[in-house]
Amino acid sequence: MSGGALIAGLRAQCGGPRDGALLRFSLGNALLQAGDAAAAAEELQRAVGFDPLYSAAWKLLGKARQAAGDAAGAAAAWRQGIAVARQRGDKQAEKEMAVFLRRVEGGAQG
C-alpha cells in the first residue's frame, strides 16, 4: 500500500467507531513519513488527547513538531512524554525523549 493510500485509508476511519489514540498515532506516523510534519503533529496531538498516557505518541509528537520547525513545541511534547513514561515505567521511551530534549534545548550545539 502506498503512503497516500495508507493515509487515505486511515483518514477514512477518523470519526468512526475505531477512532482513537492508535488510529491517530498511525495516521500521524504515516503523515510524518510522507513529509507532512505539520499535519502529523495535529494528528499526534489528537492521539495524546485520546490517551494522555501514550508515551510513544508523545515521542513522535515531539519529532513531528521538530520537523515542522517548532523546537519549543517539540521540547514541550518531550517534557510531557518523559513525565508520562516515568509514570508508566517506560524507561526506554524516557531515555530516548531525554536525549531528544537535550539536543533540541542545546540548539546548534547538538
Helix-then-strand count for the chain, H and E: 6, 0
**pLDDT for the residue 107:** 66
For cell 510522507, the residue is: 34
CATH number of domain containing 61? 1.25.40.10
Report the distance separating Cα 88 and Cα 85, nearest Å. Answer: 5
Q: Domain tally for the chain?
A: 1
**pLDDT for the residue 106:** 87
**pLDDT for the residue 1:** 65
Q: Are 48 and 21 in contact (CB under 8 A)?
A: yes
Phi-psi group of 89: left, alpha or beta (phi > 0 → left; psi -120 to 50 → alpha; rest → beta): left
Residue 77's domain spans which residues? 3-108
pLDDT (tens place) for every residue of the chain, 110 residues total: 678 999 999 999 999 999 999 999 999 999 999 999 999 999 999 999 999 999 999 999 999 999 999 999 999 999 999 999 999 999 999 999 999 999 999 864 43
